[in-house]
Amino acid sequence: MSAVHKLITDHLEIWTAADTEKKSGRGRVSGSANSVYGIKKLRELILELAVRGKLVPQDPNDEPASELLKRIQVEKAKLIADGKIKGGKPLPEITTEEKPFKLPYGWEWARLNDFVLNIISGGTPSKNNSEFWNGDIPWASVKDLNVEKFLESTQDFITQKGLDAGSKLAQKGDLIICTRMGLGKIAIAAMNVAINQDLKALKVTSFLDIDYFINFYGTLKIIGSGMTVAGIRQDELLQYCIPTPPLAEQHRIVAKIDELMVLCDQLEHQHNNAAEAHEQLVSHLLGTLTQSQDPDDFNANWQRIADHFDTLFTTESCIEALKQTILQLAVMGKLVRQDPNDEPASELLKRIQAEKAKLVAEGKIKKDKALATVSDSEELFKLPSGWSWTRMINCAKQITDGEHLTPERTTDNTKIPLITAKNVRDGSMDYTTTDFVDFDVASKCWNRCKPEPNDILIVSVGATIGRLTMIEDHRDMVIVRSVTLVKPLLINIRYLTMALRSPSLQKTIWAGVKQNAQPCLYLAVSNNLPIPVPPINEQHRIVSKVGQLMVLCDQLKSRITNMRRSQQKLADVLIEHAPTR
């Protein structure tokens, strides 16, 4: 077994335990879209070992790379003499500072230019000329280079006129390298293809294994320059220094990389399958809690979870699922026991209506439009004794949205913050990205709608509809149309906030969203939302219990996050001590 195989197999738990967030990536270095941090680092290590000559043993019978480079020079000289390529400007000798590590015997440092027979830059035909586009010539830009190895298709096509007017044609087998907008992207043209100005097409000598170069390119930390978009110049690209093995060793290195990457793929596939199965199991078990038919059924289902709690709740996503279940259980009346001595919710709702009638008589609020009671078909679940379904407007003295015409804004942070959907976070307010309005402008806005402490703000326009928070500070603010304001009345504000954040209510909110060009939650839908209302004393008990459980969830999540970071650091340490030098 090779040293690298041993490095992988002896530390499987470290590579697969060091998990990461789900991010998309490209190629072997990045791994799949569900890349595991430890395995991603392992892929990087394999490539690093490869280009340092530590992945496969050297063979003293191999022709040294110095002879290989001589034969390339002879090949280029003949092509120049035959008029098939142009002779380029000689590049400076490679300095000691440009050599980041010592090479094995038989290897040589060479510039990319030493292997390139020809290089072309692309271009973009005028978009205003319809005769240049929608032809039969594939035309590649940066977006087409999101491939593992071969460029086999493009999103756009041009005509022969378009090619003649503003692009260049790369040949099948050419190496396509991005030098702007997507640095690090590289592919082999699987067909003749036109390219745009962000790409270079390199015809490379057969004395360089193209797969070896692509693997080497994956180890580069490319940093571009430029005022608007970072890029690298052609002369910079051609001056890259390549650690060059004998040709036979190049082939052996590529074969070994392929073998080890397959092993990494298998590890990653097994890990991701196990993680997916784990999440499905947690989701199923949590679902049994909300579907429990009676207290005995609930206790049995909870005991099943409690017996395996330490093995079930081991990821941040599982903790988030647990939080959502807690909210759902809370609004279903399954989180705390009912007290038959509590005044029923129906009495609370009567007092709310009496208070609203008084406020209407005093001219402080407008009379609500009469709404039908919540029908049996609208009830999201069965409520315990003493609870009642009602419309959200019956829990508030006012539900309205913000300014329909955005008031004149300023960046003066001594003025009044202007709150839009982006400032309403999940359970908090973000004042760091607000614009501001003058006090006189704000005063006019407040005549219709003034947010105050203990009000609820709900995002009502865009992709984050339903995200909400309770206002807990005393700063003045003005809201715009993308935010709905709810002013609760006599109900426990934290309970109402909790109910609106529960999975069943969030689903109902989205069911009422108008899917126009931009999703919108209209006030009529907000007013009509069915709300499960417990007795007021039970509301207080629910809020207290949820608060305690959420603190425990956050503590558990923090421990899991710290554990994951420790596992990542352990993987990093293992990489640092690998035999790369």
> Each residue of 18-32: pLDDT tens digit?
666 443 333 344 444
Domain count, the chain: 3
Residues 359 and 400 in one domain: yes
**pLDDT (average), residues 510-537:** 91
* Domain annotation covers residue 386: yes
* Domain annotation covers residue 555: yes
DSSP 219-261: T-----B-SSS-B--HHHHHT-EEEE--HHHHHHHHHHHHHHH
Stated pTM of the model: 0.73
Residues 201 and 113 in one domain: yes
Residues 355 and 479 in one domain: yes
Residues 525 and 476 in one domain: yes
Q: Give pLDDT tens digits for 96-152.
A: 999 999 999 999 999 999 999 999 999 999 999 999 999 999 999 999 999 989 999
Q: How far is residue 144 from each of residues 138, 219, 302, 570, measured CA to CA in Å?
A: 11, 21, 50, 36
Q: Coil, strand or helix: which one is 396?
A: strand
More confident call, 461 vs 32: 461
User: Rounded CA gap, 6 and 210, in Å?
Assistant: 28
* Domain annotation covers residue 186: yes
* Domain annotation covers residue 76: no
Residues 206 and 304 in one domain: no
The answer on pLDDT for 438 being more than 80 is yes
Residues 389 and 325 in one domain: no
* Domain annotation covers residue 306: yes
Residues 323 and 227 in one domain: no
More confident call, 24 vs 328: 328
Residues 443 and 517 in one domain: yes
Tokens 């260049």 sit on residue = 168
Q: What is the pLDDT of residue 534?
A: 98
CB 105 within 8 A of CB 233: no
* Domain annotation covers residue 61: no
**pLDDT (average), residues 520-544:** 96
Q: Give pLDDT tens digits for 86-97.
A: 887 888 999 999
Where b means 16+ CB within 10 Å and e means fewer, 332-347 reads bbbbbeeeeebebbee
Residues 506 and 425 in one domain: yes
Residues 471 and 355 in one domain: yes
Domain with 187 in it: what CATH number? 3.90.220.20
Residues 302 and 359 in one domain: no
* Domain annotation covers residue 47: no
Q: How far is residue 336 from each of residues 296, 455, 540, measured CA to CA in Å?
A: 14, 26, 10
**pLDDT (average), residues 38-65:** 90
Residues 400 and 323 in one domain: no
* Domain annotation covers residue 250: no
Q: What range defines the domain where residue 549 resides?
A: 270-334+544-568
User: Rounded CA gap, 581 and 570, in Å?
Assistant: 20
